[in-house]
Amino acid sequence: MPFEQARGELREAERRLDRLSALAETLHGEHGRVRESLGGVRDFLTLAPKARDTLEELSTALFGKILDEVEANLTHAIREILGQDRVVTTLREVKNNRLQIQFQIRNQGKEDEIEDIMTGQGGSVCNILSVGLRLIALSQLPEEQHRPFLVLDEQDCWLKPALIPKFMKLIGEIADRLELQLLVISHHPLDLFAGSAQRIFELVPDRERGAIIKQVK
């Protein structure tokens, strides 16, 4: 082989060696970065279950305090309106990373006696808890984003007429304390609202216009 040809092949081999060396160095650095990233992923996978369990415990504890207060307020409402020794309790459990709550009514002194929320007291319990939960939820909303206004459309439908004054008195006091404005729509006689409503309007049939709104207070 001629000397010049051999020298040219040697130079080409040297250039290839330089390229391969640079590539090897790059791949070595990339390998180190991948190993470091993989180590971080492994550490995360190791800590993730513990972190999830810790977050669930914190969430349960936080909502537990809130629910304790909700239970106390709803129990007070049930006792004030129905005049019965009932206790509102909640069953709490975490499913699919979500806190699930089930409300129950218990007869004080008879812990095994559980009253159905939907049908208890002919539906009166459902009426009271429904309004109570709405008031609590509305009170938790940011004031700058939500108007403190609540419409209760026949939320007294299953209450006995004799219970309406107590019902309206209690939710009126709560609304005043929370600085909420309430609009209550009802089919009960108007005189049942006289002691608690600031203004009372009656929807009166009219032959020409179908119906008119008449202010009675």
**pLDDT mean across residues, the chain:** 79
Q: Residue 54 and residue 60: Cα distance in Å, rounded?
A: 10
Number of structural domains in the chain: 1
pLDDT digits (tens, 9 = 90+) for 91-103: 777 677 676 778 8
Domain containing residue 216: 121-217
Instruction: Indicate whether 186 belongs to any domain.
Output: yes
Mean pLDDT of 117-129: 77
How far is 182 from 150, CA to CA, in rounded Å?
A: 5
Residue 51: inside a domain: no
Examine residue 151 and state whether it is found in any structural domain, yes or no.
Answer: yes
Q: Quick check: 59 pLDDT over 60?
A: no
What is the per-residue pLDDT across 124-154, written as a single tens digit (0 to 9) for each?
A: 888 888 888 888 888 778 878 888 888 999 8
β-partners of residue 33 are none
Provide the percentage of residues in the chain whose pLDDT is more than 70.
79
Look at 51-65, 72-86, 189-203 and tell me which has the smallest mean pLDDT: 51-65
Within a domain: 162: yes
User: Residue 215 pLDDT more than 80?
Assistant: yes
Contacts of 84-89 with C-beta under 8 Å, sequence gap 24+, read: 84/121, 85/109, 86/115, 86/125, 88/129
Residue 64 CB contacts under 8 Å (≥ 6 apart), including other chains: 92
Give the CATH number for residue 129. Answer: 3.40.50.300
CB 101 within 8 A of CB 74: no
pLDDT at 3: 61
**115 domain residue, yes or no:** no
Is a pLDDT exceeding 60 seen at residue 82?
Answer: yes
| pTM listed for this prediction | 0.62
